[in-house]
Homo-oligomer: A and B are copies of this chain.
Amino acid sequence: MPEYQAPLRDMRFLIDHVFDFHAGYAALGASDASPDMVNAILEEGAKFCENVLAPLNRSGDEEGCHFDNGAVTTPKGFKQAFAQYVEGGWHGLAADPAYGGQGLPQSLGLVIGEMVGSSNTSWGMYPGLTHGAMSAIHAHGSDEQKQLYLRKLTAGQWTGTMCLTEAHCGTDLGLIKTRAIPRADGSYAVSGSKIFISAGEHDMSDNIIHLVLAKLPDAPAGTKGISLFIVPKFLLDAAGEAGERNALSCGSIEHKMGIKASATCVLNFDGARGFLLGEANKGLNCMFTMMNHARLGTGMQGLCLGEASFQGAVRYANDRLQMRSLSGPKSPDKAADPIIVHPDVRRMLLTMKAFNEGNRALAYFTAQLLDVAHLSSDAAQRQDAENLLAFLTPICKAFMTETGLEVTNHGMQVFGGHGYIREWGMEQLVRDCRIALIYEGTNGIQALDLLGRKVLGSQGKLLLGFTKIVHRFCGAHAEHPQLKAHVAQLDGLNRQWGELTTRLGMAALKNPDEVGAAAQDYLMYSGYIVLAYLWLRMALAARQQLDAGQGDSDFARAKLATCEFYFKRLLPRTAAHLGAIEAGSDCLMQLPARCFAL
């Protein structure tokens, strides 16, 4: 396994210089998150992830989870690591102090989440799903429900799940068959079978609180007839402790391509006692309130695994001796040059670096918006942040995972044949990453969400909220002595983006299939432009540091060189996506379904 070191320098560069989290925290009254506190959390979080989680990553993949007669055992060390995580206070870092959390900003939770995901994505699924369940109960639970569940969940004594998918429906939740029948005592009898339930059953906590989508007997058809229920594995006794076993069981666990240490369960509910969470028939809305966070978290997996892969690849490229540089030997005293001298190896490494650091900037930019949306006392500011979040979330989820998969594949390729061997750990990163393009709404669904629901659904308003920021930025830096060429390139793309969107809006009025035909390329096209903006912000900050003689000049120069690489070698991909978008829907729709395979 490539040894993981938390990229603290890059994290601090973003936190301190590019986005100034500290000013943000001060403005939002998050006074606990002082610069010293932030720094201590980064240091300690890095130690925990490097020393406790990372060593369990490959062994967890090899061992996988064990299923025996309804019980799931996680790989060796997982349970102990979770206990240490809880003990160290990591589980409640960004949770509400009213229920025992530390109340630190979401953005700080995300920074730690990156370290967790890079060191052990499978392990991170268990607390990750719990945080999702906590958000939903926090947002929609009654006071009693919050008291009953949130304290134990925050303490990590219990964990949580989200039970949405059934065998015949994942994307199309309107088709779910799980039923909830009211009981005399106000609870419900939940019956049905759910699949793909991450952390659905395991040995890491005393109880598991399932959030289950189900239909009431009189529910309207489709997505407007779905309700959300709290269904604990063990029903609570009078003292609020885990008591009698509920009528639900784990039927099996899936054998998957990757994230093998994450238990992906079939859960059978056989008249299990459940409790309505939020309003009846508004279950999907309840789920959606935590969707932004969950989707950003899934996007992060692309970054996390990309970072782990990059660290392995750079080390290998410096160590592995093979062939001579075409421009003359670089290590004449050795049998061959390290492969990092070869332009094509550098192309792969710089592609990885440019996506990882760009994606990290995107994640932090978005996390700051999460803070504002949660903490600001100014309603207009909150609404602006919500709008930008709505726009950026599908891009984070899909663009960061598509590029994350590309990055992990490059990392494997740098290793040559050794990359394909399990022992080196590079292929696991590809396998673990692959699911992130699928779950939490496939990337195709994200693309439809971006173009259809968000951009065109708001008559372009949500796009304009972002392009305005870019427009102002380009105006302010149009004359920058070193960066003006890149600023001009971004400015041009930003205009093209708006014009393209207008054309798509017109075309969609005539033919709704134009939206689906353009969506995936539109999302990727948008992602490249968003990252170009963020790369320029990083380059500006690096330039300022260099000009002021502050910081590490090697680091700043690497930022500038990677920015240049991004603009010259990756941003041209927008042309391919633009071409595909402009081809329209006819070339997709004309072939009758029966003629695809003959």
Contacts and interface: CB of A to CB of B under 8 A. Distances in A.
A503 interface: no
A435 B420 contact: yes
Contacts of A583: 568-569, 572
Interface stretch (A211-219, A373-381, A555-563): A555-563
A589 B343 contact: yes
Given A572-B575, A595-B554, A256 B422 contact: yes
A405 B565 CA distance: 25
Interface string A390-430: 00000000000000010001001100110111110001001
Interface in A473-490: none
Given A256-B422, A430-B434, A172 B323 contact: yes
Interface string A525-555: 0000000000000000000000000001011
Contacts of A416: 170-171, 438, 442
A338 interface: yes
A321 B174 CA distance: 12
A516 B554 CA distance: 25
B587 A554 contact: no
B517 A343 contact: yes
B520 A344 contact: yes
Contact of A322 (B172, B348, B511): B172
A596 B434 contact: no
Interface in A579-598: 579-580, 583, 585, 587-598
Interface in A447-471: 447-448
A346 B520 CA distance: 12
Counted per complex, copies of this chain come to 2
A254 interface: yes
Given A343-B516, A353-B596, A438-B416, A573 B572 contact: no
Nearest to A326: B512
26 contacts: A170-B322, A171-B323, A172-B322, A175-B321, A254-B423, A255-B421, A257-B420, A257-B430, A311-B597, A314-B596, A315-B597, A343-B515, A344-B447, A344-B516, A344-B520, A346-B588, A413-B437, A417-B438, A420-B435, A430-B434, A554-B595, A555-B595, A569-B580, A569-B587, A572-B575, A573-B579
Interface pairs A-B: 6 shortest CB-CB: A572-B579, A343-B516, A568-B583, A257-B427, A575-B575, A326-B512
Interface of A: 9-10, 165, 168-172, 175, 195-196, 254-258, 310-311, 314-315, 317-318, 321-323, 325-327, 335-336, 338, 340-350, 353, 405, 409, 412-413, 416-417, 419-423, 427, 430-431, 434-435, 437-439, 442-444, 447-448, 511-513, 515-517, 519-520, 552, 554-555, 557-558, 561-562, 564-565, 568-576, 578-580, 583, 585, 587-598
